[in-house]
Amino acid sequence: MGGQGLRTDIVSVGGIGAAERQAWNGFRAQNRALASPYFSLEFTKSVARRRLDTRIAILHQNGTIAGFLPLHLSRSGVARPIGGPLGDHHGLITTTPDLDVEAALAGSGFGILNYHGALADQASFARGSTAPAEISWVSDLSSGYDSFLDDCAREDAKAMRNIRARQRKLAELGDRVVFRLDDRRPDALRAVIETKREQYRRTNALDVFVASWARHLIEDLFDTDTPEFAGMLSTVEIDGQLAAAHFGMRSDTVLHYWFPVYWPEFSKLGPGLTLYLEIARHLADQGVREIHLGPGDYDFKRRLSNAGFGVVGGRLQRPSLAHALVRTGQLIDGMAQALPLGRVSNWPGKAFRRLDRWAAVHAL
């Protein structure tokens, strides 16, 4: 299947042999934009163990593998990036960013590919985007931890003074404070997940852990610890109680900042920010070059970033039942937006977006 000179095979993870693995790793080695653990074959394999709808599109050009696109392909014809709502960054594994994804997927059974954090420099995702590219924030540690702090201080000196003041407050507590940069305690991970779920309930956000596959995936990643790919739990305790924690995943050069939590009773001490800087210092000493914080206009992301890259959201589509249903939803949303109903006009669009995220969480 394919078009415009492309041939595409849709395979399960079991269809990735030695030649495909070599090509995948070769693309990542040649393209620094793919250094995130999201683009590792190990992440896709981890997801595949927990989601049976995991597929990989292998794009061939002139008889040679030109790229890979890991995704979830539902029975309804809706395709989503690998990891569903947990997939903050996604896109083609390739050194040819102008590959035509729509042409490549023609005949694959997909009607719509929804995406929300695709690399903006990949042409098909840029064309299908529904809004301008967002910056995905990065702590660049490649010149060392001290250089990173200097960059942040030049950007917002007052914020860094406040952060350092909180660091000193924690330091004054001495042995009452315990940092674990690579915490391997299962009960600490359970506490992070439970606290994050409580945060989702409190803020009326969609709880991604309501689906068992998401919980099991995080547990699998927690149990993975190799130089090239690992889950990483970091914690800080005060007087024997968890004050802040973070669970993320890393490749050999990038940590993806994923699930931070803190306990409100310790908020005046700023344990979350101090933990972040301890993580950055620890990883910089180990040769990790970047921490990816993801997109979003949050103060802490801007203050702790000295670099970034563009990501886009949107959809690629072709005529199909799935496309017709989404188009109907768009028409309803458009009519509601045109009516003088105030905030009510936004309800249909919000409902459709929430339904899509719910379906992604539940692998529908």
Task: Give the angle 317-323-326 at the CA atoms, nearest 5°.
Answer: 115
pLDDT in tens, 242-291: 999 999 999 999 999 999 999 999 999 999 999 999 999 999 999 999 99
| Cross-strand pairs, 254 | 290
**Nearby residues of 90 by Cβ (< 8 Å), 6 or more positions away:** 38, 70, 81, 82, 83, 115, 117, 118, 119
Per-residue pLDDT, 363 = 54
Q: What is the DSSP letter of 208?
A: G
| Cα gap 216→199, rounded to integer Å | 20
| Cα gap 114→360, rounded to integer Å | 10
pLDDT in tens, 302-326: 999 999 999 999 999 875 444 434 4
Q: What is the pLDDT along the chain (364 residues), one digit of tens a residue?
A: 544 578 999 999 999 999 999 999 999 999 999 999 999 999 999 999 999 999 999 999 989 999 999 999 987 778 999 999 999 999 999 999 999 998 888 877 778 999 999 999 999 999 999 999 999 999 999 999 999 999 999 989 998 999 999 999 999 999 999 999 999 999 999 999 999 999 999 999 989 999 999 999 999 999 999 999 999 999 999 999 999 999 999 999 999 999 999 999 999 999 999 999 999 999 999 999 999 999 998 999 999 999 999 999 999 987 544 443 444 444 444 454 555 655 544 544 455 455 555 565 655 5
Per-residue pLDDT, 360 = 58
pLDDT in tens, 325-354: 444 444 444 454 555 655 544 544 455 455
pTM: 0.88
The residue among 14, 8, 217 whose CA lies nearest residue 94 is 8
**Nearby residues of 164 by Cβ (< 8 Å), 6 or more positions away:** none
Per-residue pLDDT, 6 = 83
